[in-house]
């Protein structure tokens, strides 16, 4: 579990492109670890430590995730 390794190393935040288990989220909250999952392009899910994240930044110049970096299941033919 990456949450345990992160806490043991004293790192205050863990960001992942994938999600976390319910147990990992519970551990992160108990350890006061900021946990960010499903981070892609301009989007992410804050699962623990949300109070430490500044949400008022201008994302105008952040590029959207390109199609080549998306999982095949996430690509939509429009």
| Rounded-to-10 torsion of CA 46, 48, 51, 54 | -30
pLDDT at 78: 47
Q: Is the confidence at residue 74, as pLDDT, over 60?
A: no
Over range 11-38, report the average pLDDT.
94
pLDDT at 51: 87
pTM attached to this predicted model: 0.68
Residue with tokens 């392009």: 41
Residue 47 near residue 36, CB atoms below 8 Å = yes
**Class of the domain covering 2-72:** alpha beta
For residue range 31-72, what is the model confidence (pLDDT) as tens digits? 999 999 999 877 889 999 988 888 777 767 767 666 665 665
DSSP single-letter state for residue 74: G
How many Cβ atoms are within 10 Å of 6's Cβ, its own excluded? 20
């Amino acid at each position: 579990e990456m949450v345990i390794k992160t806490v043991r190393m004293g790192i205050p935040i863990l960001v992942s492109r994938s999600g976390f288990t319910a147990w990992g989220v519970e551990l992160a909250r108990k350890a006061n670890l900021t946990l960010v999952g499903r981070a892609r392009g301009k989007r992410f899910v804050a699962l623990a430590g949300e109070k430490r994240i500044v949400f008022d930044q201008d994302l105008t110049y952040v590029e959207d995730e390109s199609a080549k970096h998306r999982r095949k299941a996430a690509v939509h033919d429009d």
